Amino acid sequence: MIEVQNLSKSFKENLVLDNISVKLERGKTNLIIGESGSGKTTFLKCLIGLHSIDNGEILFDNRKFSKMNDKNIRKFRQEIGVLFQGGALYDYLSVEDNIMFPLNMFTRLSLKEKRERVNFCLCKVNLEKTNNLFPSELSGGMTKRVAIARAIALNPKYLFCDEPNSGLDPKTAILIDNLILEITEEFNITTIVNTHDMNSVIQIGSNILFIHHGKILWKGNKNDLTKSKNNELNNFVFASKLFKTLRNENFT
């Protein structure tokens, strides 16, 4: 579980995250939703340590991030898997080498064992026999799936996904969503997904946080979402014609 206590972050005079406190549960897909510029990417980057925080504390299973020294942070980061928006695969490495990269850096496994682990991860994301392809030869969906395979290579305790469905067609987006859900439940990891894709929210949102102007305005699950009386949330959720129509037809 990840516990965030009174987290604030500003860039110069601009307060981006304002006193955020939240618990992100293990074995669940924790979705952070909000408009572009609401602060959700900054929140995610603060959680993974890419941005320093001004105030507050982040606890990873009761371990305070701020109390860790550089060596411990490096070790701790091996417990984190991150799926970046664009995949962030290393262009000069093949699919196999991309997934093997964290194994080469942090394990003493033999080549045979590493290959087995790579094949296991590729099997999890339904991309068997793509070992020798290079990132430039992959489609958007395949890139995301390889990035997920790399993120889970070291058996992480925490999985962070930044806009996993951006730029994907609806069918592939559902595939990625289901994959994230499956991995979360199977390995009982704490998953945080940063998204503004409402289909994802309906598909996998077991714990949803709505961020608006740097504050968490609403928490709940996908079933509560359509019943909320929060105006900002309703403006966001029912912004599209499709969702407006569905609301009028009383979908839950």
Q: Which residues bind another protein (CB under 8 A)?
A: 48-50, 73-78, 80, 82, 84-86, 88-91, 101-102, 104-106
**Which residue's CB is nearer to another protein, number 18 or number 97?**
97
Q: Of the candidates 52, 49, 58, 73, which has an alpha carbon nearest to the alpha carbon of residue 24?
A: 58
Q: How far is the CB of 78 from another protein (least distance, A)?
A: 5
Q: What are phi and psi of 240, to 5 degrees?
A: -85, 155
Name the minimum Å distance from CB 240 to another protein.
28
CB 40 within 8 A of CB 216: no
CB 243 → another protein: shortest distance, Å?
30
Judged by CB, which is closer to another protein: 64, or 74? 74
Among residues 144, 92, 154, 88, which one has the least CA distance to residue 120? Answer: 154
Closest to another protein by CB, 107 vs 226, is 107
Q: Which is nearer to another protein, 105 or 229 (CB)?
A: 105
Q: What is the 3-state secondary structure (H, E, C) of 235-251?
A: HHHCCCHHHHHHHHCCC
Phi, psi of 219, deg, nearest 5? -130, 145
Phi, psi values for residue 148, rounded to 5°:
-65, -40
Q: Phi and psi of 237, rounded to 5°?
A: -65, -45
Q: How far is the CB of 56 from another protein (least distance, A)?
A: 20
> Do the Cβ atoms of 157 and 189 come closer than 8 Å?
yes
Q: Which is nearer to another protein, 76 or 134 (CB)?
A: 76
- Provide the minimum distance between the beta carbon of 88 and another protein in the complex, in angstroms, as a whole number: 4
